[in-house]
Amino acid sequence: MTTHTDHDAISLFVSRFFRSLDERKFDDDWARAYFTDDVRGVSPLGVTEGRKALAEGTAEALGRYARTQHIATDIVTDVVTAPEGLTADGATVTVSWNALTTHVHLDTTLKDRGPDANPLFTVGGYYRAELRRTPLGRRFSRMAIEAIWTRGEPPVIARRAG
């Protein structure tokens, strides 16, 4: 079990991560602040391996919208492994939370869909993640996003040739 101090720190980390998604600065500093080198991400769009690929995929996915708002709630934390305590490098904690994400479509998407197009695509779901203690602090080493419900239409995703 995590302590109240650990839980508070992890909750703040999750909140900062969600806020950062809406600020849209997905550079190397952003990726290093939130992910381990070997992070594995699973989302409705597929599986992503590695910090650079996850940052690029996040930028691409959220770049399909004019704006977004990510809200996290009901954060639950549990220790997975802590051979020398939660402050030791390599100690891991699982964290999960409910998420409500609102995406505002680009003007070009709305124009393509016509005058009655819904400007919003909203998703309710869960995030499940693993945080690993590194010399730089806790970072996500695993993250999975599960959409439970949606409202509105997602953007059209162009298929890559190949």
Quick: pLDDT tens for 94-109.
Answer: 999 999 999 999 999 9
The answer to whether residues 76 and 97 touch, using CB atoms and an 8 Å cutoff, is yes
In tens, the pLDDT along 29-85 reads 999 999 999 999 999 889 999 999 999 999 999 999 999 999 999 999 986 655 555
Give CA angle at 26 (56, 110), nearest 5°: 80
- Residues making up the chain, counted from first to last: 162
Tell me: pLDDT of 87 over 70: no
Domains of the chain with bracketed CATH: 4-151 (3.10.450.50)
According to the model, what pLDDT value does residue 51 have?
A: 96
Q: What is the pTM of this model?
A: 0.87
